[in-house]
Chains A and B, each alone.
Chain A
Amino acid sequence: MTVETRVDDQPRVLYAPPELLADRSTTYCPGCGHGVVHRLVAEVLGELGLGPRTIAVAPVGCSVFAYDFLELDFVEAPHGRAPAVATGIRRVMPDAFVLTYQGDGDLAAIGTGEIVHAAARGEAITAVFVNNGIYGMTGGQMAPTTLVGQRTTSCPNGRDPAFAGAPIPMTEMLAVLPGVAYAARGSVVDASSIGRTKQYLKKACQVQLDRAGFAIVEVLSNCPIGWGMTPVESIEHLRDAVAPVYPPGVIVDRTAPARGG
């Protein structure tokens, strides 16, 4: 939807949907964060002029349908294997811009091996990691990132760390690997965090263009359906309960010029 106004009697576009975002409404649940992240990806790739060069890898999760909503070339990876699929693309398509998009079940459970090794190899890949703390697509089961005490359909009494371990801070874990040039965490809590998330994504794309190494941006997102909340409640929960456990910000930036000494 395009929003216009008139300034000094001249038409001015306040908001236009990014060109890389398909002109159809998504099939995500009302209030789902995936839509926002899709828009950010479309904006950033569009602004950098990367659309025609991009080969994107879709995960298995609600956002498998990303290929329906982003006007990009896409390959669908088996559950969790997007970073390996992306590595294959990277190694044979030197001029392509390679993007992965994964949920937390996909990246931090079944795909832990692949993401760690793609990062360790320093693959020139930009990874978008949407952390909604739950398995959305399969009906709201516990994810590796589910908060302690959070109820899901597979931990009906709340996640018990004595039994299911503690939430995995995936991006911090990856950030210790020298192959990771850039790692940051944003969120979809409000307009300013969405704006910052966009900057992180842009930087993560630039890292790939500079061939500086692996880049990942985690985005804290909501799943109103899986969390059993209204969209508004889920955003409040994201801000008040999730963000304190997974603090947003730049986690590592090895592209920053080393200072002094």
Chain B
Amino acid sequence: MERSVIFSGFGGQGLLFAGQVLAQAAMAEDREVLWIPSYGPEMRGGTAYCTVIVSEEPVGSPIVERPDVAVVLNPPSHAKFAHTVVPNGVVVTNASLVDSRVEREDVSEIALPLSELASAAGDPRLVSVVALGVVAARTGIVLAGSVHRALVDIVGRKRPQVLDMDVAAFDAGIRAAGGRPIAEILRDEARALDATLRETVPVGREP
């Protein structure tokens, strides 16, 4: 099955990065994935976004009309993308900046003060990483542990000095969305692995 997530907001909110972390997490689960950014001058000032498509098969169309999950971090992107999600889709809304809400019965909108959570974790620019925590906790597209490992890998390679802050932001997102602390999730995933061998881990793919 193909699932897609769109991360949208202002340039500078770390959208492309968050998408990349999700893409790497999916890759680490041996799945197919395509990450595509909005690129060029349109990124200046206005709405920037990237799309991540996760699938068990090679990814076909790179453009998604109707994503399964829309992460919307500013008002223009809420107006542009929140209503486009599929029936029973998920909208992750940055309530710190966005007042409006999706007027659809068949959408579950998770509105949380993501910018404030990011600031609390140490840097308002981590808002996308907080959102990533929400996606990991509430959508099941990839395992939270996979996202965590991808985050640690990418940040650890590029900017190890801020790794703790990134992980804190991710954890804050998971918990704000009602998930358990990432440390517990990782421990349980590791136990599940030990207990059941890799093949039976429910990551939604053919062994």
CB B44 to nearest CB in A, in angstroms, measures 5
CA gap between A30 and B45 in the complex, in Å: 8
A30 (CB) vs chain B CBs: closest residue: B45
B41 within 8 Å of A (CB atoms): yes
CA gap between A137 and B43 in the complex, in Å: 11
Q: State the interface size on chain A (CB cutoff 8 A).
A: 7
A65 (CB) vs chain B CBs: closest residue: B41
Residues of B within 8 A of A27 (CB): 41, 44-46
A93 within 8 Å of B (CB atoms): no
Cβ contacts A188-201/B at 8 Å (1 or 0 each): 00000000000000
Residues of B within 8 A of A62 (CB): 41
CB A150 to nearest CB in B, in angstroms, measures 21
Q: Which residues of B are at the interface with A, using a C-beta cutoff of 8 A?
A: 41, 44-46
CA gap between A27 and B41 in the complex, in Å: 9
Q: Which of B41, B45, B46 has the most CB of A within 10 A?
A: B41
A120 within 8 Å of B (CB atoms): no
Residues of A within 8 A of B41 (CB): 27, 62, 137
Residues of B within 8 A of A137 (CB): 41
A225 (CB) vs chain B CBs: closest residue: B44
Other than the known A62-B41, A225-B44, what 9 A-B pairs have Cβ atoms closer than 8 Å? A27-B41, A27-B44, A27-B45, A27-B46, A28-B44, A29-B44, A29-B45, A30-B45, A137-B41
Chain A residues 161 to 185 lying within 8 A of chain B, measured CB to CB, are: none
A136 (CB) vs chain B CBs: closest residue: B41
CB A173 to nearest CB in B, in angstroms, measures 30
CB B196 to nearest CB in A, in angstroms, measures 46
Residues of A within 8 A of B44 (CB): 27-29, 225
CA gap between A62 and B40 in the complex, in Å: 11
Residues of B within 8 A of A30 (CB): 45
Residues of B within 8 A of A28 (CB): 44
11 contacts between A and B (CB under 8 A): A27-B41, A27-B44, A27-B45, A27-B46, A28-B44, A29-B44, A29-B45, A30-B45, A62-B41, A137-B41, A225-B44
CA gap between A30 and B44 in the complex, in Å: 9
CB A225 to nearest CB in B, in angstroms, measures 7
CA gap between A29 and B46 in the complex, in Å: 10
Residues of B within 8 A of A225 (CB): 44
Residues of A within 8 A of B46 (CB): 27
Chain A residues 213 to 235 lying within 8 A of chain B, measured CB to CB, are: 225
CB B123 to nearest CB in A, in angstroms, measures 16
CA gap between A28 and B46 in the complex, in Å: 11
Residues of A within 8 A of B45 (CB): 27, 29-30
CB A141 to nearest CB in B, in angstroms, measures 14
Cβ contacts A39-70/B at 8 Å (1 or 0 each): 00000000000000000000000100000000
CA gap between A225 and B11 in the complex, in Å: 11
CB B10 to nearest CB in A, in angstroms, measures 11
CA gap between A30 and B11 in the complex, in Å: 12
Cβ contacts A8-28/B at 8 Å (1 or 0 each): 000000000000000000011
CB B41 to nearest CB in A, in angstroms, measures 6
B44 (CB) vs chain A CBs: closest residue: A29
CA gap between A137 and B45 in the complex, in Å: 14
Q: Nearest 10 CB-CB pairs, A to B?
A: A29-B44, A27-B45, A137-B41, A27-B44, A29-B45, A62-B41, A28-B44, A225-B44, A27-B41, A27-B46
B42 (CB) vs chain A CBs: closest residue: A27
CA gap between A73 and B50 in the complex, in Å: 37
A29 (CB) vs chain B CBs: closest residue: B44
CA gap between A40 and B44 in the complex, in Å: 23
Q: Which of B44, B45, B46 has the most CB of A within 10 A?
A: B44
Chain A residues 110 to 156 lying within 8 A of chain B, measured CB to CB, are: 137
CA gap between A159 and B46 in the complex, in Å: 31
CA gap between A137 and B44 in the complex, in Å: 10
CA gap between A27 and B47 in the complex, in Å: 12
CA gap between A165 and B44 in the complex, in Å: 31
A26 (CB) vs chain B CBs: closest residue: B45
CA gap between A27 and B45 in the complex, in Å: 7
